[in-house]
Amino acid sequence: MGKLKYLVIHCTATPEGREVSSADLRRWHTSPVSEGGRGWKQVGYTDMIHLDGKVERLVDNNEDAEVDPWEITNGAKGYNDISRHVVYVGGCAADGKTPKDTRTPEQLAALEAYAGDFHRRFPEVRIVGHNELAAKACPSFDVQAWLKGIGINQ
C-alpha cells in the first residue's frame, strides 16, 4: 500500500470522434500479447471519460489517499502504486497516429469537474499528464497549463 502522490491524466490514443468502450480498453490491456493485448493483470486506469462526458469507473477504489494493492492500475510504469489514473477517449488526429487534443466540450467539462473534485479532496496530490512521467505524447495536451487555466494551482 502506497500513499497517493499523483493523479495521472491519459488519453486512449484513438482517433478523434471514435468512441471506446470499457470492454475495448480491458481487452487492449489484459489480453495476452499473443492476442494483441499488453498482457497486464489490470486495466490501466481507474476511470474513463467518454466522448459524451460520462465518467465510467473501471476499477473500484475506496476513495482515500492510499493506493491499496487491489486499486493499482497500470497507467505509468514505476508510478502505479502511488497513483490513480484517469483517461479520456481520444488524443489522436483522424489519422490515428498524430497526437492531438481531441477533448469534446463534454469531456472538457467532465475532466474539469473530475480534476477539481480530486484536487479539493486531495490537495497534496499532484495532478500530471502521463507525458510528465514518461517520454510519451499522452494525453496530447499540456496538463499544467490547462490546470492553471481552470484555476487549479498546485
What is the phi/psi pair of residue 83, to 5°?
A: -135, 155
pLDDT of 126 reads 98
Q: Given this model, what pLDDT does residue 74 score?
A: 86
Note the pLDDT of residue 148. Answer: 97
Here the cell at position 3 is 500513499
Q: Could you count the other beta carbons within 10 Å of the beta carbon of residue 122? A: 17
Q: Domain residue spans in the chain? A: 2-147
Give the separation between CA 89 and CA 108, rounded to whole angstroms. Answer: 11
pLDDT of residue 127: 98
CB 16 within 8 A of CB 98: no
- Spans of the chain below 50 pLDDT: none
pLDDT at site 6: 97
Q: pLDDT at position 2, please?
A: 84
Given this model, what pLDDT does residue 110 score?
98
Sign of the alpha-carbon torsion through 80, 19, 131, 30:
positive
pLDDT at res. 56: 98
At residue 75, the pLDDT reads 87
For residue 138, how many C-alpha atoms fall within 13 Å in the half-sphere facing its CB?
Answer: 20
What pLDDT is attached to residue 28? 94
Per-residue pLDDT at 129: 98
3-state percent helix, strand, coil for the chain, nearest multiple of 5: 30, 20, 50
pLDDT for 44 equals 92
DSSP class of 127:
E
**Residue where the block lists cell 469531456:** 107
Overall fold of domain 2-147: Lysozyme-like (3.40.80)
